[in-house]
């Protein structure tokens, strides 16, 4: 049964829509990332035109989740909701990001 469920999940992944993923700072103690700043990811690339600030530590900590949100037909397949929060791991300059996505029209 697990094998059939895995094949079904793979088939859904292969039919994935493309999404622009937005990580918006909801709360920030970082002097470089202000509340409301966003990082925008399209596919495997950071959209620098739409990104307000880019932190390598925060991006490194949340990049897998951002990548899957950009690919998943249903985020619950990967344990996520349509909108959720993640936190930068730096306790001194912690930033809480709200993660959401928008379909990319081709």
**96 pairs with which residues across the strands?**
27, 87
DSSP bridge pairs for 25: 97
Please tell me whether the overall predicted TM-score, pTM, comes out greater than 0.85 for this model. no
Q: Break the chain into its structural domains and give their ranges.
A: 2-103
- Look at residue 21 and tell me whether its pLDDT is greater than 70: yes
Residue 17 has pLDDT above 70, yes or no: no
Other CB atoms closer than 10 Å to residue 93's CB: what's the count? 15
Give CA–CA dist 6/3, Å, rounded: 5
23-34 confidence digits (pLDDT tens):
999 999 999 999
Average pLDDT estimate for 37-51: 92
Q: Is the pLDDT of residue 95 over 90?
A: yes
d(CA 63, CA 105): 22
């Amino acid at each position: 049964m697990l094998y059939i469920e895995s094949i079904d999940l793979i088939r859904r992944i292969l039919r994935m829509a493309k999404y622009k993923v937005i990580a918006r700072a909801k709360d920030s103690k970082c002097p470089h990332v202000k509340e409301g700043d966003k990082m925008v990811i399209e596919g495997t690339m950071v959209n620098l035109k739409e990104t307000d600030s880019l932190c390598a530590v925060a991006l490194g900590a949340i990049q897998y989740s951002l990548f899957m949100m950009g690919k998943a037909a249903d985020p619950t397949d990967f344990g996520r909701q349509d909108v959720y929060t993640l936190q930068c791991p730096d306790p001194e300059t912690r930033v809480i990001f709200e993660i959401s996505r928008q379909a990319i029209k081709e």
